[in-house]
Structure 1
Amino acid sequence: MEENYYQGPTRWLGLSSNLLSLFGFFLVGSFLGQFFGLLAVVALMEFPTQNIEAFQKLILDFIAHPQKYEGGFHAMMALQWFSALFTFFLGAWAYLRFIEKRSVFDLNRAEAPSFQVFSWAILTVLVGMPAMEYMIEWNQHIQLPAGYEDLEKAMQTTEKSMEELTKFLLNFQSDMDFALAVMVIAGMAALGEEIFFRGVLQSMFERYIGNKHVAIWLAAAIFSFIHFQFYGFFPRMFLGAFFGYLYVWFRSIWVPIAAHFFNNAWTLLMHYLYQKKNISIDPMEMVNSIPWWSALLSVVLVGFYIRRLHTYRTES
């Protein structure tokens, strides 16, 4: 990637134009994802559609409280699947196809990374989890300055709503529910979000701004913000930055996709094993039980594995 490829006003005009185009595809994809997702919800839940007003209230109530409805888990998974597919994957695909005249396959260089690269990337995510949990606990206790009480209250309301939805989606009633969650929450989320945020958005910042570090952290901040879970903003941003560096180092979108998939799938697996009573530690309570020395050791190990990854990068 060339540094400072674009100069002067041309750089900022080009960046603004491409950002607006990407945002447009994001909005269209989001609309279509919600549309087809809600069609799937109606089909799976067999909601009556004769009375439009009653139907609208039923849909809104389902989205707010899916746990009240039998079969709500599968319907909500379908909604999540279509939303991620259209918003991120197809949104990114359309931008690449119609604006940059490129293919998704162009996000990878010709030479594929070695198996060791994927292994070290996944191990880095694994050993970094205690530090992430410690950071989550810290982030949850952040208080805004005086005068921002209304904003803080709104953030807490949104956080509570997202937490309730997360608990619902992590409540597996069968092995099939777990497999479905892995496919949607780990598989589609990792594929779509990495292509959108690292393959397209981060690459755009890097190309126009000319500084890969600024590009990585900007994309990571937007990636974290778009989840609308503000009390987990900083750990998610750091995780997104790690995915960003993986993409810069190896120029293969499959490396951050693999790391992202593992991070989400591991969380799902821990909840599944706890519900099956194969482990005694509740993953939901783990954030409150991470000692400082465990987080410190985690940071040291992450540093070690990142150095290993960088070695593979410089050798390749």
Structure 2
Amino acid sequence: MVKKPVNQLSPGLQLAIYLGLSVGTIFLFNLIGLALIIAIYGLKLIEQISQMNFSDPQMQQALYILQFISTTVPIMLAPLVFARFIVNEPGDYLKPSFRFHWLLLIVAFFVMMTSTPLIELLSNINQQMVLPKWLSGLEAWMKRSEEQAQLITKAILKMDNVWDMLKNVLLIGLLTAIAEEFMFRGVLQTIMQRWTKNTHAAIWITAALFSAFHLEFYGFLPRMLLGGLFGYFVAWSGSIWPAVWGHFLNNGTAVLVTYLFQQKKIKVNPDDTHTFTYGGYIFSAIIIIILLLVYKNIASGKKQLANINGEELG
């Protein structure tokens, strides 16, 4: 059997090409998205979006189109193009294999469910961030960016019925999870792994870039933690799908809880950042560490079995 040649691009060059491809793709599809909104709703709606005025009844549908065309499509397309046509190693860079133990999905579920207190703690720490006076301009821009992101999210997540909720679970929960995991834990983490030759460094560098990508700086730490968890899900299983599952659970749960709160089915405000005690934070951290070790052991056992079967077949 002829061995498939490995691409000769250095990790640094791969990163430069990938970032250029991603930025270019996002820019192109933003133009396409804006042109589509103008064609359907007119220029006035674009002006209202730029002014953060979401009162128009057609606004939510327009934001859905922009979210899908300008964000979801390009961040899914860029890693697919890079993995298939630039390095020609889609299996290694996208990790689409389903050959992992099904128990990993259950462990990942409990990791995500028990991470909420720790995410709240990191969010509270993040909210207290104050930059030096000489960076006041940067701090003002960061706060504006955060406020604008929250306004857009609030407009998209305004749900009047169960169908609105299911639509958000699909778009924000599932499709966003798949696209972002291919982009970050798929291609980017693989590049970082080959560059640093250190799994932990690759995971946390990618997690930091993943968090920065969202331009919500006062939520940087909790999002970086999530990126780290997703990174270990992929690194230890060899598959992108446990991370997609975890990402979907995080986003989908947020959508569901927001819907239930809006419909007055629950009293817990999803925006409340003071739900848990310090005991809850410590318990959350301990349980997550234990569950990650369980996840790693299960994944390692599956790989060892696969290697044994491979040797027997050889």
Q: Which moved more, 1:143-152 or 1:197-206?
A: 143-152
Q: Report if aligned partners of 2:52, 2:148 keep a CA contact under 8 Å in 1.
A: no
Residue correspondence of structure 1 range 129-208 to structure 2 within 5 A = 129-208=116-195
Q: Distance in 2 between matches of 1:246 and 1:98?
A: 26
> Could you report, residue by residue, the CA deviation over 1:194-243 in whole angstroms, capped at 9, with x for unpaired residues?
00101101101111221111111111110000100000111111110111
Change (3 A) 1:18 1:106: closer
**Counterpart residue number, 2:15:** 19
Change (3 A) 1:279 1:135: same
Of residues 21, 24, 27 in structure 2, which corresponds to 1:28? 24
Kindly indicate whether residue 218 of structure 2 is the aligned counterpart of residue 222 of structure 1.
Answer: no
Q: Distance in 2 between matches of 1:210 and 1:294?
A: 36
Q: Distance in 2 between matches of 1:191 and 1:166?
A: 19
Of residues 288, 308, 311 in structure 2, which corresponds to 1:302? 288
CA positional deviation for 1:61: 2.4
The unaligned stretches of length 5 or more in structure 2 are 1-5, 303-314
Q: Report if aligned partners of 2:95, 2:239 keep a CA contact under 8 Å in 1.
A: yes
> Could you report, residue by residue, the CA deviation over 1:81-119 in whole angstroms, capped at 9, with x for unpaired residues?
112333211011111122101336863375611221011
Q: Distance in 1 between matches of 2:277 and 2:36?
A: 44
Kindly indicate whether residue 232 of structure 2 is the aligned counterpart of residue 236 of structure 1.
Answer: no
Q: TM-score, normalised on structure 1?
A: 0.87
1:79 maps to a residue whose letter is L
Percent of paired sites with the same residue: 29
Change (3 A) 1:109 1:231: closer
Q: Which moved more, 1:78-87 or 1:235-244?
A: 78-87
CA positional deviation for 1:39: 3.8
Kindly indicate whether residue 248 of structure 2 is the aligned counterpart of residue 261 of structure 1.
Answer: yes
CA positional deviation for 1:147: 2.1
Change (3 A) 1:100 1:66: farther
1:21 maps to a residue whose letter is I
Q: Distance in 2 between matches of 1:190 and 1:111?
A: 17
Instruction: Name the SS for the 1:67 alignment partner.
Output: coil
CA positional deviation for 1:146: 3.5
The unaligned stretches of length 5 or more in structure 1 are 1-5, 48-54
Structural RMSD (CA): 2.1
Q: Distance in 2 between matches of 1:205 and 1:105?
A: 13
Q: Report if aligned partners of 1:37, 1:78 keep a CA contact under 8 Å in 2.
A: yes
Q: Report if aligned partners of 2:145, 2:215 keep a CA contact under 8 Å in 1.
A: yes
Q: Which moved more, 1:274-283 or 1:58-67?
A: 58-67
Count of residue pairs the alignment pairs up = 296
> Could you report, residue by residue, the CA deviation over 1:116-153 in whole angstroms, capped at 9, with x for unpaired residues?
10111121011111110121011111111342222111
Kindly indicate whether residue 261 of structure 2 is the aligned counterpart of residue 274 of structure 1.
Answer: yes
2:104 maps to a residue whose letter is V
1:294 maps to a residue whose letter is G
> Could you report, residue by residue, the CA deviation over 1:253-293 in whole angstroms, capped at 9, with x for unpaired residues?
111011001100000010011112211111112x1332211
Change (3 A) 1:95 1:275: same
Q: Report if aligned partners of 2:114, 2:287 keep a CA contact under 8 Å in 1.
A: yes
Q: Report if aligned partners of 1:66, 1:76 keep a CA contact under 8 Å in 2.
A: no
Q: Distance in 2 between matches of 1:156 and 1:246?
A: 32
Q: Distance in 1 between matches of 2:49 and 2:207?
A: 31
Kindly indicate whether residue 275 of structure 2 is the aligned counterpart of residue 289 of structure 1.
Answer: yes
Of residues 67, 86, 104 in structure 1, which corresponds to 2:73? 86
Q: Which moved more, 1:133-142 or 1:144-153?
A: 144-153
